Structure 1
Amino acid sequence: MSVHVVLGARGVIGQETVAALAGDADEVVAVARGPVVVPDGVQTRQADLLDAAQTRAAVAGADVVHLVAGLRYDHTVWAREWPVIVRNAAVAARDAGARLIYLDNVYAYGRVQGPMREDTPLRPISRKGRVRAEARELLLSFPNVVVGVAADFFGPGARTSVFNRLVIDALGRGRAGRWLFDAGLAHSMTYTPDIGSGLAALGRSSETGVWHLPTAEALRGVDYIDIAAGGPGRARVLTRGLLRLAALVDREARETLEMGYQYEHPYLFDSSAFEQRFGIAPTPFSVGVRRAIEAERPRLRA
């Protein structure tokens, strides 16, 4: 039996990772800054990951540490806090003799021509991308580190997801689903339960290095919205000009504008290496979006 400690268990990815690990023969410990609801049999601990001593205590006895914590979507917060969290987790896992499974995104790749793969060079063109690239490079200098990478994500309870906010929430309120800049481009999206299952599989394996987590074949923005809406004709495109106007008064719009290049050319994410190695196929988008809509319907009705 292995002990898996999940750092950042309160967020949606943390919850999915805990759920994927729970119910097996492994012992699971969910760590968050405050109280967290967990499945039966899962232990909980509280820790501030900005504090090295608390992080060390949180991972005591671990065989595997999963770092899936998130921060407020603000480049200044990322630059100040992410390096501290990453180093604290890496040092604590190393000192505990544990493997570290780290959830990353694609920001460090920058603008990519063609599919993003595990060997895609890190060439960030954004402030948040530079933070992510430096964190990945630091982590891979430690022993027994595995990086699981996800594309833009969506899923049940994923309220920080751009797709959840612009499409699922909008449709649930009777409005048109919105897409950034060009709804005719293909854009990969990863389903959050697949992220949890993928990280659990990495944690139970002996693999190291970088792996792209299972992600379904990319569709066009308009196709995603049509499937979510149950029919065509309900897509609205938000232009770069509109986002610039919103950015004058809204911090999240400013942060999203910096990453807008991801919606101006095809955004293709290749997870075939993971799927072949672990035999885990991604959830079809039509299935995942139906589950996400069902999960959000009570909140949107309220």
Structure 2
Amino acid sequence: MTDRHLIVGAGPVGRHVAQLLAARGSEVVVATRSGTDTGIDGVTHLKLDASDAEALSAAAEGTTVLYNCANPSDYTTWGEFWPPLAAAFLVAAERSGAVYAITGNLYPYGPVDKPMSEDMPDAATDHKGRLRAAMWAEAKALHDAGRIRAVEIRGSDYVGTGVGGNGHVTRQIPGALKGKRAWVFNRKDIPHTFTDVLDTARLLIAAAEDEAAHGRVWHVPSNPPRTQEQAITEVLTSIGKPAVGVSEVPKPVFVALSWVVPLIRELRQLSYQWTAPYVLDDRAAREHFGMEPTPWDEVCRRSAVV
């Protein structure tokens, strides 16, 4: 039986998926625009514009699973980046017959007033949330029509190996290791779920390979929520480093920055995630897959590597 996997994207999730698959002896191809070499033994690397449906379909021919682990390097370009890429994935999945496994996020839910479970509606009103919700809705419609096999997993903000400057907690660690005060956006004392990027990869593979899991969203098993202050402190403590002060960027400064810095403007639209409890309900995936999150202490130690 063919055991060939095409991973689009070489960020933290894509790399972890590639490592896990290669370690078990699967044939693994990682495709990126630049042909980035992940340095993982046994992995083939392909230079590919995945938004080109013809090129992606050709690369996906004979593939068991097509993984969408892509993410734009520029957070402000989602509107241009995602639509053609999402459309190309659907074409490639239908032509190749490969399972389409999507790395999603929690943006489609929008602001919430209770722990997020998979049966909640995708009710976001901001453009990023609506975009991600539409991507899954289109994939699910084709799945329900019997034209593709699709599944999406959703995790909260990433921690763990390789997240670095892309994580709300991990971007604070280099300075904190030098004893510098950490400055966080919005509230530092609100419970927030953080998801290990390795657990994300584990669930993505498991969901892709389980026919009974297809056609729906699954939440990545994650550790109990922490505040931003707790998470930063516990990452430092895990490697024997002293805690540092954690302060909130004053709201007027945050608002002012959003007018002149495009990235901050984008983050401000999602600030609801950090002004009220933002908690993931992962019971369905724990029960279905028999999967538990990596112990928090281990996640913290890996998050401390910069």
Tell me whether the two structures share a fold, i.e. TM-score over 0.5. yes
The aligned residue for residue 5 of structure 2 is 4
Q: 1:74 to 1:226 in 2, by over 3 A?
A: closer
Q: CA deviation at 1:240?
A: 2.6
- The secondary structure found in structure 2 opposite 1:22 is helix
Partner Cα distance (2:289, 2:113) in 1: 27
1:291 aligns with 2:302: yes
Instruction: Indicate whether 1:204 and 2:190 are aligned.
Output: no
Aligned partner of 2:232 in structure 1 is: 225
Q: Deviations over 1:81-129 (max 9, x none)?
A: 2111111011101110111000111111001111111111111131111
| Residue deviations 1:153-184 (CA, integer Å, cap 9, x gap) | 1222213122221x213313421223322222
SS of aligned partner of 1:16:
helix
C-alpha distance in 1 between matches for 2:167 and 2:244: 22
Q: Specify the SS of the correspondent of 1:34.
A: coil
CA contact (8 A) 1:47 1:54 kept: yes
Match of 1:253 in 2: 264
Is the contact between residue 122 and residue 133 of structure 2 (CA under 8 Å) also seen in structure 1?
A: yes
Deviation at 1:74?
3.6
1:18 alignment counterpart: 18
- Structure 1 residue 225, shift from structure 2 partner: 2.1
> Measured at CA, do residues 57 and 137 of structure 1 come closer, stay the same or move farther in structure 2, by a change above 3 Å?
same
In the alignment, does 2:276 pair up with 1:269?
A: no
CA deviation profile, 1:227-253 (whole Å, cap 9, x unmatched): 123255621112332211222332221
Contact 1:248 1:254 in 2 (8 A): yes
- Determine helix, strand or coil for the equivalent of 1:162: coil
What secondary structure does 1:149 align onto? strand
* Alignment match, 1:299: none
Whole-angstrom CA distance in 1 between matches of 2:174 and 2:259: 23
CA positional deviation for 1:73: 4.2
Q: CA offsets, 1:23-55, max 9 Å, x none?
A: 214322111112322422222222111211111
Q: 1:241 is matched with which residue: 232, 252, 256?
A: 252
1 CA distance for matches of 2:184 and 2:156? Answer: 16
Q: Percent identity at matched positions?
A: 27
> CA shift at 1:204, angstroms?
2.2
Structure 1, unmatched stretches of 5+, are: 297-302
Q: Residues 57 and 213 (structure 1 numbering): CA distance in 2 closer, same or farther, change over 3 Å?
A: same
Aligned to 1:71: 72
Looking at structure 2, the residues matched to 41 and 225 of structure 1 have their Cα atoms a distance apart, in angstroms, of 35
Q: Identify the residue that residue 154 of structure 1 maps to in structure 2.
A: 159
Match of 2:170 in 1: 164
Contact 2:7 2:14 in 1 (8 A): yes
Scaled by the length of structure 2, the TM-score of the pair is 0.90
Q: Secondary structure at the match of 2:169?
A: helix
Give the secondary structure class of the aligned counterpart of 2:260. Answer: coil
Q: Helix, strand or coil for the counterpart of 2:57?
A: helix
Runs of 5+ unmatched residues, structure 2? 144-148
Deviates more, 1:171-180 or 1:151-160: 171-180
Matches within 5 A, 1:43-62: 43-62=44-63
Alignment partner of 1:91 is 2:91: yes
RMSD value, Cα = 1.7
Aligned residues: 292
Following the alignment from structure 1 to structure 2, what is the Cα–Cα distance between the partners of residues 176 and 276? 40
> Once structures 1 and 2 are overlaid, which stretch shifts more, 137-146 or 230-239?
230-239
The residue type equivalent to 1:120 in the other structure is M
Deviates more, 1:175-184 or 1:124-133: 175-184
Taking the aligned partners of 1:12 and 1:279, their CA distance within structure 2 comes to 23
**CA distance in structure 1 between the partners assigned to 2:22 and 2:153 by the alignment:** 19
In the alignment, which residue of structure 2 is the partner of 1:300?
none
Q: Which residue of 2 aligns with 1:214?
A: 221
TM-score (norm 1): 0.91
- Amino acid corresponding to residue 172 of structure 1 in structure 2: L
